[in-house]
């Protein structure tokens, strides 16, 4: 059977060019996505409609031929599975209701995968449509990142923005926050297990809000929950590769790589090339082109792609952005990058 290039890279293999996919590669920068999205009554309904979500997942694969597809879903499906109201305000993003009682969430956590079975149906549809040489990625939000949104639904007066509020809450009520993280570890593990069973060949843990944490809080809110999540996923029998993405934590990226048993570490836009090399000496890496540079295009984009290729191209590396693609990125800029690295 054909082994996708992404999986080879995550095993530590190198090739003539790195495999490539982009975070948020299915999204608003594609006109076909915007037309599809207009047919759904709301974003949650869109995510939980297997046929529509599969089509969104496949659109960038048809247009660009990326080496991997990532299932179209959202990290905030997990709070919904735990009994918290989740909705999206047009032009404002996600909103969450009151945090459910921790005991009730603990009861619901083992059923998270079953509750979100439409995502599994999406994965099955996509895997059936994808060529065997292209990998299929499933994902979840990391416990701390998901908790920031869940806690914001309850404490709107601590500070402006999910990170400020949730971080203050983590200091003020550590036992409750740690209990929420524990619940999220179990729910996320069950969700990832379901995705692997449904056809996902790689799983990614998105820690979007790891930035700005002092080292002791990073250990408590990021390292320990990630360690627990990886252990639980493996205990459930999942064997596919795991990618961890502790965005905004370049100063602690080496520690993360050494202490969390993921198979690869995704690096963000601000990660220095030399830090990336040191992480790459521990395990494969992914990243880290600036989405704003992809938007700008031109010779500066070419230079940075070349710099990344020179710095990281000799080791196991997955070419990607350091964060998600932006809605106003010109499509020809994406094509330019793919041609530059030899993927088109």
Residues placed in the known binding site for substrate: 24-28, 74, 149, 208, 323
Active site residue 169: no
Tokens of 75: 């990290």
Q: How far apart are CA 49 and CA 43, in angstroms?
A: 10
Taking alpha carbons only, the member of 97, 208, 76, 86 closest to residue 155 is 97
Q: How far apart are CA 117 and CA 163, in angstroms?
A: 29
Which residues of 151-309 form beta strands (DSSP E)?
202-207, 242-246, 264-266, 285-289
Q: At what angle do helices 162-172 and 143-152 cross, to 10 degrees?
A: 100
Q: How many residues does the chain have?
A: 344
Active site residue 304: no
Which residues of 6-78 form beta strands (DSSP E)?
68-70
Q: How far apart are CA 170 and CA 217, in angstroms?
A: 9
Tokens of 184: 């999220």
User: Which one is catalytic: 149, 169, 191, 256?
Assistant: 149
Active site residue 302: no
Residues near 94 by beta carbon (within 8 Å), at least 6 away in sequence = 76, 86, 87, 88, 149
The SS3 call for residue 331 is helix
User: Which one is catalytic: 17, 28, 106, 255?
Assistant: 28
Distance from chain centroid for Cα 77: 13
Active site residue 24: yes
Active site residue 191: no
Q: How far apart are CA 191 and CA 139, in angstroms?
A: 9
Tokens of 120: 């599994």
Q: Please report where in the chains the tokens 């890496």 appear, as a residue.
A: 285
Binding residues: 24-28, 74, 149, 208, 323
Neighbours of 62 (CB within 10 A): 11
Contact 28, 327 (CB under 8 A): yes
Q: How far apart are CA 321 and CA 13, in angstroms?
A: 20
User: Which one is catalytic: 29, 33, 67, 74?
Assistant: 74
Contact 146, 115 (CB under 8 A): no
- Residues acting as catalytic residues: 24, 28, 37, 74, 149
């Amino acid at each position: 059977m054909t082994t996708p290039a992404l999986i080879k890279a995550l095993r530590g293999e190198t090739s003539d060019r790195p495999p490539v996919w982009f975070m948020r590669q299915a999204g608003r920068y594609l006109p076909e996505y915007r037309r599809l999205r207009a047919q759904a009554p709301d974003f949650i309904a869109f995510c939980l409609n297997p046929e529509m979500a599969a089509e969104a997942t496949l659109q960038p694969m048809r247009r660009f031929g990326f080496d991997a597809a990532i299932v179209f879903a959202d990290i905030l499906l997990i709070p919904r599975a735990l009994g918290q109201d989740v909705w999206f305000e047009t032009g404002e993003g996600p909103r969450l209701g009151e945090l459910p009682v921790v005991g009730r969430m603990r009861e619901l956590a083992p059923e998270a995968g079953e509750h979100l079975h439409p995502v599994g149906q999406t994965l099955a549809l996509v895997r059936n449509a994808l060529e065997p040489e292209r990998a299929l990625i499933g994902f979840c939000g990391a416990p701390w990142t998901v908790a920031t949104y869940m806690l914001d639904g309850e404490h709107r007066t601590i500070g402006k923005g999910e990170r400020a509020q949730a971080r203050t809450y983590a200091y003020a009520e550590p036992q409750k926050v740690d209990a929420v993280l524990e619940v999220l570890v179990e729910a996320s593990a069950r969700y990832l297990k379901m995705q692997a069973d449904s056809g996902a060949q790689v799983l990614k843990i998105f820690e979007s809000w790891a930035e700005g944490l002092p080292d002791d809080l990073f250990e408590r809110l990021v390292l320990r929950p990630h360690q627990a999540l990886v252990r639980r996923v493996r205990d459930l029998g999942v064997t596919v590769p795991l990618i961890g993405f502790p965005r905004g934590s370049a100063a602690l990226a080496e520690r993360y790589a050494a202490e969390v048993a993921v198979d690869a570490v995704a690096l963000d836009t601000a990660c220095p090339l030399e830090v990336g090399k040191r992480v790459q000496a521990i395990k494969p890496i992914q990243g880290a082109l600036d989405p704003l540079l992809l938007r700008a295009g031109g010779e500066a984009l070419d230079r940075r792609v070349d710099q990344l290729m020179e710095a990281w191209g000799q080791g196991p590396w997955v070419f990607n952005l350091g964060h998600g693609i932006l809605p106003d990125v010109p499509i020809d800029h994406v094509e330019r990058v793919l041609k530059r690295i030899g993927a088109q």
